[in-house]
């Protein structure tokens, strides 16, 4: 039996490199080249070069040439959020399957371009996600097995206990506002630059896809209406750039399911580990409370750095499982666990929530009917 | 009754009678002289109390032909008739409610007015405020160590307690009280939704799931959800508060033990025992004696009732509502 093997191009990797590393965790995917547009600023080229060196592959400052000359079948996109969809569309139009970092985009129109291109070219698209973390898979399976009956409500807490520069209220009267891109570039050193880009990106916009991805997988229900409230509560960089670091969202879904979402970048001091990330689900025959961090192992020692997580996640096979899902989708023409249409809908849900937070009113989430794009 | 004298207490029995009697043993300067029993099912161990010299009477026995002396009537029956409560207050008896129940605030206010004329105190307790876990959260918030409070997240699930009339709406009101207590103000906006169908509610009563999202003036927010139809007898409560410089998590999930039995593994809760009831009674009795301020004020009761009315308006209209001026009702946003 011949095992399929896919050659991958990484199209820009300006932030943490967990997506290309996750792709490479599966033996059927091989990273053979890193590429980006020649007109990118030097810090972008530097980071692309670092990843190319890590994998021992060339870095090409010409996306079209990389797509044409390296016999690649899969593109891995991990650029600034505002460039995600454009790079993906260019790869899709070249006939490549795409794995794309979150968020899908900060603009719904860009997501629509991806959906249209995917459906026109018949390729596979996977939004990177955390759905295959062991505890989330267990929640999915328990619910699918009918352990709590039909889902009636679902609530997800998604708090990242990371700092993001100086706290709210720390800017002096004569200090200039913190520049978003400059701050994010500097944050690369500790891996907290997930929202890097020229356009400021709030926590709901940047991380909302993870909890909404859980809800979509566990319930299989589309969000119809939202009511949201947001705040720049913790970090001065969010205040200065008018984007949220804390959000609450009420969700009204298909089949009468209701739910909620709490998302925040709550600061290092507010949790001993990466953060409180939990699912609460009420069903017609019972209920389920799941901590996303399980299983984990506690490690404590004298002189332990404050920022070192004391509880370490173990048995996490999410990267491989995600790429296995992608491999199966390509090989058997099945949907990926978080495909382009689902990604579009999650982006639409986030955009509706941000609109609701501005107006103080309940907001309908737009739909994308079959063949609409 | 002086502030230091022994208080003679009549207990109108209800679903929490057993816990109340256990807790009273820990509280000095109180003598239980009578138990009011409307129905035998709520007074298990009547014979035991009789043997201890406690009179067991009907409301009429106690209030129409008072032969048993008492200074205060402790109400543990949420179905207690308001007319009987009026009669007790009219006789100058203090009235101590272990829970606000679902009595309309206006009726309680009438009792309070009557009590002021008769020299009787009317005091009400919000049970959730007396949970040790909630008190630890409140202490953390009040200490200032958490900074400015940005988010409160609460889940409150239980089975349908036998003999307990409280609906999911009363549970919501009680949790709204907690939110207002922790934020120190009434929310400026809210949105309330339920996933229970009207048909289901007609069959099994209002059990939820019911959830509400609250927005406070300074930017703080809260999401609370309540459910009253878990299949098992164990409840679940989780309260998290995120501040600008810290956070606190009181979560039954963290406090589950693991039981490996013949039916497989299951989580069992290490509960808070009788301490919440001791705290409730101690505050009611001390406040009645004038030694401390009541932890739950009339303004607290009015506030949670206003927000609950706003929640019902929001749920019925499927729309967000905002606080109107004067701040005694909500209107569609």
Question: Can you give the residue ranges of every domain in chain A?
Answer: 6-123, 134-316+340-364
State pTM to two decimals: 0.94
Q: Residues spanned by CATH 3.40.50.720 within chain B? A: 7-124+278-288
**A270 interfaces chain B, CB cutoff of 8 Å:** yes
Residue B64 has a pLDDT of: 82
Instruction: State how far the Cα of B295 lies from the Cα of B280, in Å rounded to an integer.
Output: 9
Strands B189-194 and B321-323, by their bridges, are antiparallel
Interface test with B, best of A269, A274, A295, A355 (most B CBs within 10 A): A269
B chain contacts of residue A246, beta-carbon cutoff 8 Å = 150-151, 221, 242
- Hey, CA dihedral for B173, B175, B177, B180, is it positive or negative? negative
Which part of chain B is CATH 3.30.360.10?
Answer: 131-254+298-332
Residue of A nearest to B146 (CA): A270
Residues of B in contact with A271 (CB under 8 A): 247
Query: For domain A6-123, which architecture applies?
Result: 3-Layer(aba) Sandwich (3.40)
User: Which residues does A15 contact at the CB level (< 8 Å), separation at least 6?
Assistant: A78, A80, A101, A188, A193, A194, A196
B231 Cα to chain A: minimum distance (Å): 6
Name chain A contacts of B242, Cβ cutoff 8 Å.
159, 246, 264, 266, 270
- pLDDT tens digits for A245-281? 999 999 999 999 999 999 999 999 999 888 999 999 9
pLDDT confidence bin for A125, thresholds 50/70/90 = very high
Angle of helix A81-93 versus helix A108-121 axis, rounded to 10: 20
- Distances from the Cα of A274 to the Cα of A161, A235, A277, A306, A311, angstroms: 5, 17, 9, 12, 9
Cβ–Cβ contact A306 with B under 8 A: no
Total Cβ atoms within 10 A of residue A189: 8
Whether B34 contacts B57, CB under 8 Å: yes
Write out pLDDT tens, residues A267-317: 999 998 889 999 999 999 999 999 999 999 999 999 999 888 899 999 999
CATH match of B131-254+298-332 with 3.30.360.10:
yes
Residues of A in contact with B191 (CB under 8 A): 227, 250, 362
Q: Does A168 touch chain B (CB under 8 A)?
A: yes
The reply to whether A6-123 and A134-316+340-364 are identical in fold is no
Using 50, 70 and 90 to split pLDDT, how confident is the model at A326? very high
Q: Which of A155, A231, A258 sits opposite B155 (nearest CB)?
A: A155
Whole-number pLDDT of residue B3: 43
Unique residue bearing structure tokens 């929310």: B187
Q: How many residues does chain B have?
A: 333
A340 φ/ψ angles, rounded to the nearest 5 degrees: -65, -45
User: How do residues B218-257 score in pLDDT, each as one tens digit?
Assistant: 899 999 999 998 988 789 999 999 999 999 999 999 999 9
Q: Which pLDDT score, from 0 to 100, does residue B56 have?
A: 84
Q: ipTM of the predicted structure?
A: 0.94
Architecture of domain A134-316+340-364: 2-Layer Sandwich (3.30)
Please report residues of B whose CB lies closer than 8 A to that of A352.
none
Mind listing the pLDDT tens digit for each residue in B157-188?
998 764 454 589 999 999 999 999 999 999 99
B76 in Cβ contact with B277 (< 8 Å): no
Q: Does B319 touch chain A (CB under 8 A)?
A: yes
The overall longest dimension of chain A from CA atoms, in Å, is 69
* pLDDT for position A354: 98
Token digits for B123?
């005091």
Q: Which two tokens stand for residue B267?
A: 């989580």
Q: Which CATH architecture has domain B7-124+278-288?
A: 3-Layer(aba) Sandwich (3.40)
- B240, A275 Cβ separation under 8 angstroms: no
pLDDT in tens, B296-305: 999 999 999 9
Residue of B148, B175, B225 for testing the chain A interface, max A β-carbons within 10 Å:
B225
Nearest CA in chain A to B194: A258
Does any CB of chain A come closer than 8 Å to the CB of residue B160?
A: no
Chain A: give the shortest CA distance to residue B217, in Å.
12
| pLDDT tens-digit readout, B114-160 | 999 999 999 999 999 999 999 999 999 999 999 999 999 999 999 87
Which letter, b or e, does each residue of B80-119 get, where b requires 16 or more Cβ atoms within 10 Å of its Cβ? beeebbbbbbeeebbbbbbbbbebebeebebbbebbeeee
Instruction: Write out the H or E segment, with its range, that includes residue A49.
Output: helix A42-55
């Amino acid at each position: 039996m011949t095992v399929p093997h896919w050659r991958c191009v990484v199209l820009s990797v300006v932030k943490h490199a967990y997506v290309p590393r996750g792709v490479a965790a599966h033996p059927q995917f091989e990273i053979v080249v890193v590429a980006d547009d020649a007109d990118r600023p030097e810090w972008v080229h530097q980071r692309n070069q670092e990843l190319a060196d890590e994998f021992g592959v060339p870095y090409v400052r010409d996306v079209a040439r990389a797509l044409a000359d390296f016999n690649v079948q899969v593109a891995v996109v991990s650029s600034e959020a505002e460039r995600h969809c454009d790079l993906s569309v260019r790869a899709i139009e070249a006939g490549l399957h795409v794995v794309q970092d979150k968020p899908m985009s900060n603009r719904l129109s860009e997501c629509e371009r991806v959906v249209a291109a995917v459906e026109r070219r018949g390729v596979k698209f996977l939004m990177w996600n955390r759905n295959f973390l062991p505890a989330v898979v267990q929640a999915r399976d328990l619910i699918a097995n009918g352990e709590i009956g039909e889902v009636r409500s679902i609530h997800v807490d998604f708090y990242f206990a990371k700092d993001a520069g100086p706290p709210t209220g720390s800017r002096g009267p004569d200090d200039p506002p913190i520049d978003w891109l400059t701050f994010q570039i500097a944050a690369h050193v500790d891996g907290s630059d997930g929202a890097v880009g020229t356009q400021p990106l709030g926590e709901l916009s940047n991380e909302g896809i993870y909890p909404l991805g859980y809800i979509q997988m566990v319930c299989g229900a589309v969000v119809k209406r939202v009511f949201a409230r947001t705040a720049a509560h913790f970090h001065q960089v969010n205040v200065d750039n008018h984007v949220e670091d804390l959000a609450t969202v009420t969700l009204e879904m298909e089949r009468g399911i209701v739910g909620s979402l709490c998302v925040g970048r709550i600061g290092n001091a507010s949790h001993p580990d990466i953060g409180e990330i939990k699912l609460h689900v009420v069903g017609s025959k019972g209920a389920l409370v799941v901590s996303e961090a399980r299983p984990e192992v506690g490690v404590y020692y004298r002189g332990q750095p404050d920022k070192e997580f004391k509880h370490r996640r173990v048995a996490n096979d999410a990267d491989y499982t995600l790429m296995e899902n992608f491999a199966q989708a390509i090989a058997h023409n099945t949907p990926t666990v978080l495909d382009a249409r689902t990604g579009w809908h999650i982006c639409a849900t986030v955009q509706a929530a941000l609109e609701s937070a501005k107006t103080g009113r309940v907001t309908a989430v737009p739909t994308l009917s079959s063949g609409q794009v | 009754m002086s502030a230091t004298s022994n208080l003679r207490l009549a207990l109108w029995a209800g679903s929490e009678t057993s816990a109340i009697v256990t807790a009273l043993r820990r509280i000095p300067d109180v003598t239980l002289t009578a138990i009011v029993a409307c129905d035998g099912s709520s007074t298990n161990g009547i014979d035991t109390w009789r043997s201890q010299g406690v009179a067991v009477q009907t409301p009429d026995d106690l209030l129409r032909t008072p032969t048993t002396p008492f200074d205060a009537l402790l109400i543990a029956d949420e179905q207690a008739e308001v007319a009987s409560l009026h009669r007790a207050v009219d006789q100058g008896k203090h009235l101590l409610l272990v829970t606000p129940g679902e009595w309309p605030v206006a009726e309680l206010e009438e009792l309070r007015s009557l009590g002021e004329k008769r020299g009787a105190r009317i005091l009400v307790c919000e049970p959730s405020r007396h949970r040790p876990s909630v008190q630890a959260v409140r202490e953390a918030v009040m200490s200032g160590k958490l900074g400015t409070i940005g988010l409160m997240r609460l889940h409150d699930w239980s089975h349908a307690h036998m003999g307990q009339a409280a609906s999911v709406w009363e549970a919501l009101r009680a949790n709204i009280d907690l939110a207002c207590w922790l934020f120190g103000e009434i929310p400026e906006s809210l949105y309330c939704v339920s996933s229970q169908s009207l048909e289901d509610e007609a069959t099994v009563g209002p059990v939820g799931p019911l959830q509400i999202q609250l927005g406070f003036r300074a930017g703080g927010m809260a999401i609370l959800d309540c459910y009253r139809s878990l299949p098992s007898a164990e409840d679940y409560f989780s309260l998290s508060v995120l501040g600008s410089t810290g956070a606190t998590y009181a979560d039954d999930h963290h406090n589950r033990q693991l039981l490996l039995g013949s039916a497989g593994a299951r989580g069992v809760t290490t509960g808070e025992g009788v301490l919440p009831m001791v705290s409730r009674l101690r505050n009611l009795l001390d406040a009645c004696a004038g030694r401390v301020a009541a932890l739950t004020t009339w303004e607290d009761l009015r506030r949670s009732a206003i927000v609950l009315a706003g929640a019902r308006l929001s749920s019925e209209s499927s729309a967000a509502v905002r606080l109107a001026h004067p701040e005694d009702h909500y209107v569609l946003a």
